[in-house]
Structure 1
Amino acid sequence: MQVNLTRVDQDFHFEATGAAGVTINIDGSPQIGGHEAGARPMELLLMGLGGCSAIDIIQILKKQRQQIDSFNIKVDAARMEGQVPSLFESIHIHFILGGPLDEEKVRKAIDLSLDKYCSVAAILYKTATITHSFEVNPSKLQA
């Protein structure tokens, strides 16, 4: 796996490109001179956690013939204050799925992802406590 980063300005803005050619903007916080021109590196880790777990969950639920009409994820995290590096110490992921889903299958898919399959979670577990919750909103029938 390889990614490439190219500096865009004279401060902290970079364009990162992965193997598929998709570009993501990365920037530092305004406190250090960034310009809000991209996601911060620690935000990208949380996005990676959400994306990694979502892919696992969708794969598992598809194999169980579960219909997912919508899927949102909210990730909240706290970092170790006053330390360098300032690692994540706690992360909470809230999954919001819509559709005619079996809640027990959703629960099991989330557990399997976060405890067994998600590589990003496996890395973050080394410094952070990761908790999760979920809700299932059945699809509304159209009249």
Structure 2
Amino acid sequence: MEINLTRIDQDFHFEAKGAAGVAVNIDGASEIGGHNAGARPMELLLMGLGGCSAIDIILILKKQRQPLERFDIKVSAERQKVEEFNLFSNIHIHFILGGQLDEEKVSKAIALSLEKYCSVAAILYKTATITHSFELV
């Protein structure tokens, strides 16, 4: 896997591209001289966690023939200073799903994703406690 970052301005704004060539903007906070022109790197980790688990859950529910009509995810996290780093210590993912879904199948799909399939979760479990909840709407 390879990604490329290109600096856009003389401060902290970068454009990142992966294999698909889709651009993602990254920038620093205004407090350090950034311009809010992109996501912060730690936000991207949380977005990666949400996206990774979402892909797993959708694939599992499709195999179970569960008609998913709506899918939203809210990720919240707390950071803790460890030496010079501000690492995630607690992460909570709340899934909001809609459709004629079996609650047990949804619960199992989420657990399988976060405990077995999602590589991003496996990495983040090294420093953080990850909890989850869901609601069917």
Class of the TM-score when normalised by the shorter of the 2 chains: over 0.9
Tell me how many residue pairs correspond in the alignment: 137
CA–CA distance in 2 between the matches of 1:85 and 1:38?
21
Task: Quote the residue 1:130 is aligned against.
Answer: 130
Q: What SS does the aligned partner of 1:74 have?
A: strand
CA–CA distance in 2 between the matches of 1:26 and 1:55?
23
CA–CA distance in 2 between the matches of 1:76 and 1:128?
12
Is it true that 1:50 corresponds to 2:50 in the alignment?
yes
- Identify, as 1 or 2, the structure richer in strand: 2
CA–CA distance in 2 between the matches of 1:119 and 1:3?
17
Q: What SS does the aligned partner of 1:134 have?
A: strand
In structure 1, list runs of 5 or more residues that go unmatched. 138-143
Q: What SS does the aligned partner of 2:76 have?
A: strand
AA at the equivalent of 2:125: Y
CA–CA distance in 2 between the matches of 1:43 and 1:127?
16
Alignment of 1:1-143 (within 5 A): 1-81=1-81, 83-137=83-137
In structure 2, list runs of 5 or more residues that go unmatched. none
CA–CA distance in 2 between the matches of 1:118 and 1:128?
15
The Cα of 1:47 is off from its aligned counterpart by: 0.1
**Identical-pair percentage:** 76
CA–CA distance in 2 between the matches of 1:78 and 1:87?
8
Q: What SS does the aligned partner of 1:86 have?
A: strand
Q: Which moved more, 1:11-20 or 1:83-92?
A: 83-92
CA RMSD of aligned residues (A): 0.8
Q: What SS does the aligned partner of 1:69 have?
A: strand
TM-score (norm 2): 0.98
Closer/same/farther in 2, CA of residues 82 and 56 from structure 1, 3 Å limit: closer
CA–CA distance in 1 between the matches of 2:24 and 2:49?
16
TM-score (norm 1): 0.94
The Cα of 1:35 is off from its aligned counterpart by: 0.4
CA–CA distance in 2 between the matches of 1:113 and 1:8?
36
